Amino acid sequence: MQHLVPARVRYRPGPRPPVPGARPAVDAEALAVLHRAARALMEGLPELTERLVDLLAEREPAYRAAIETDAESVRDEVRRSLRLNVGSLIRPGELREAAHRCSWAIGRARAERGLPLDALLRAFRLGGGMIWQELVDETTRRRPSDARLLVHVAADVWNFVDDHCAVAADAYRQTERELMWRRENRLRLMTAALLDGTARIADLPATAAALELPEQGRYAVVLVRPPAGRASADVHGQVRLSGLRILWHRDRDGESGYGIVLLGDRTHDGDRSGRGHDGGFLGAASGPAPAPAGEGGPDGTGGPDGRGGERPGVHGSDVDAGEIARRLTAPPAARVGVSPVVEGLAAIGDARRLADTALRACPRSGGTVVLEEHLPAALVVSAPALGAALSERVLGPLLRLDLSDRDVMLDTLTVWLACDGSAQRAAGRLYCHRNTVLNRLRRCEQLTGRSLTRPADVVELSLALAAHSLLDP
């Protein structure tokens, strides 16, 4: 499936506010005072820039850290913002859009650098407050009697500040969403490469770090598929694996969900924490969410981290595939395949293929199949053409009976094998007399030409029955 990367978010100016009508004479006079003071601020722009940078370092801890890391970048950002914003107080028609683009660029840049949005907005308001105070001080120094006129433009100045705060916040949020999408998509691609077996050995350390999974951990893969006609999200959201960390990933068909189960970390002796990222189905979150991507089950969107994972802290080298099946909780109608345990991230592709085989060996009615506990059935589904041929060759005479008669014979033979060849126990399950079971079995022997006392024939019958139940439409 091709993953598309969205185009870079760019500033697009919104609708212009309506042009106000003629202002009263007092407002015109107030604007003239504002313009004079703003021009004076433009003349002292270098000093104003340094003072605002110092103010940010003093008042805003997040900006203080940014200044310590890259002071020149912050200084250049402040200088451009002051030049355009103070200039747009003088020539709004010419510089308004340029000032908005500058605020947009600042919002985007600070989101990319991880500066908190609250810190960004406080910085804009600190800058707005400093500019207003400078306008008042400049007017008071030159013509104290004009300071009262600034009251008439105060609302315009603060609306101007709020407008730029909104522009910067919009840019920040859009960039944050884009960065989150890219991160989740990167994690999704890494998880898919592990499951497909296409991850390069050289990339495994970076993959392990990004997913927060141990490169040399012990893993198994769980494949969950909902019944036909059931929304996959409904089933996957109910899947739980108690005490074990699981990273979910939705398959390309959008229905199946693969879970990479972390059983322990052998990177450090004695370390069984298995601590890792709440990866996800990119859509699952830490604990039963994220998911992906969480995060209690596959949902494809990530999650959290856009990722899905359960992070209870029970791990250990003694946990095997059978223990996974015992701890796993899934809706009764769901079909679940569990791979054998493998060592290291590099082997997850092999585990995924074995989980596929385990799922094919799962009955249509649902349930959980551990591959290591169903190897004969796995052999049959791994070669479906041979399995179908075996079913026809061994069971053909039974399959050509009338429907009701055929089902009775097949059910009796299946139950008798499940009861370890005990006719008495089979009779209890089938709600009939022991002799009835024996009569049906003798008829099966006559029709198939196989003896239930000959081990080789019993093996053939058992495999043929598995092929019939798993492969026939």
Point out the least confidently predicted range of 96-100, 173-177, 197-201, 226-230: 226-230
- Rounded distance, CA 326 to CA 328, Å? 6
Residues with Cβ < 8 Å from 230, sequence gap 6 or more?
A: 333
Contact 462, 417 (CB under 8 A): yes
Q: Of the candidates 181, 196, 210, 153, which has an alpha carbon nearest to the alpha carbon of residue 24?
A: 153
- Rounded distance, CA 225 to CA 235, Å? 8
Q: Checking phi first, is residue 195 left (phi over 0); if not, alpha (psi -120 to 50) or beta? A: alpha
Most confident of 4-18, 156-170, 240-254, 276-290: 156-170
Contact 448, 461 (CB under 8 A): yes
State both tokens at 81.
Answer: 């913002």
- Rounded distance, CA 185 to CA 190, Å? 9
For the segment 152-180, the average pLDDT, to the nearest whole number, is 91
- Rounded distance, CA 172 to CA 107, Å? 5
**Domain range list for the chain:** 24-181, 215-264+320-373, 383-471
Residue 285 predicted with pLDDT over 80: no
Is it true that 24-181 and 383-471 share their CATH fold? no
What 166-170 contacts at long range (C-beta under 8 Å, 24+ apart), as own/partner pairs, is: 167/11, 167/100, 167/103, 167/104, 167/107, 168/103, 168/104, 168/106, 168/107, 168/110, 168/120, 168/121, 168/124, 169/107, 169/117, 169/120, 169/121, 170/104, 170/107
Identify the band that residue 5 occupies on the pLDDT scale cut at 50, 70 and 90: very low
Domain 383-471, CATH class in plain words: mainly alpha
- Rounded distance, CA 387 to CA 183, Å? 44
Neighbour tally for 327: CB within 10 Å: 15
Tell me what percent of the residues of the chain surpass a pLDDT of 70.
80
State both tokens at 276.
Answer: 């890792």
Residue 8 predicted with pLDDT over 70: no
User: Any idea which residue has 């315009």 for tokens?
Assistant: 156
Give the three-class secondary structure for 265.
strand
Q: What is the CATH number of domain 24-181?
A: 1.10.490
Q: Which residue has the higher pLDDT, 342 or 377?
A: 342
pLDDT at 279: 36
Task: Compute and round to an integer the Cα radius of gyration of the chain.
Answer: 35
pLDDT at 165: 93
- Rounded distance, CA 286 to CA 293, Å? 10
Q: What are phi and psi of 285, to 5 degrees?
A: -120, 180
- Rounded distance, CA 413 to CA 406, Å? 11
pTM of the model: 0.64
Contact 69, 137 (CB under 8 A): no
Is omega for the bond preceding 293 within 30 degrees of 0, making it cis?
A: yes
For the segment 173-187, the average pLDDT, to the nearest whole number, is 92
DSSP element (H, E) containing 261: strand 257-265
DSSP secondary structure string for all residues of 64-97? HHHHHH-HHHHHHHHHHHHHHHHHHHH-HHHHHH
pLDDT at 324: 86
Point out the least confidently predicted range of 13-17, 73-77, 78-82: 13-17
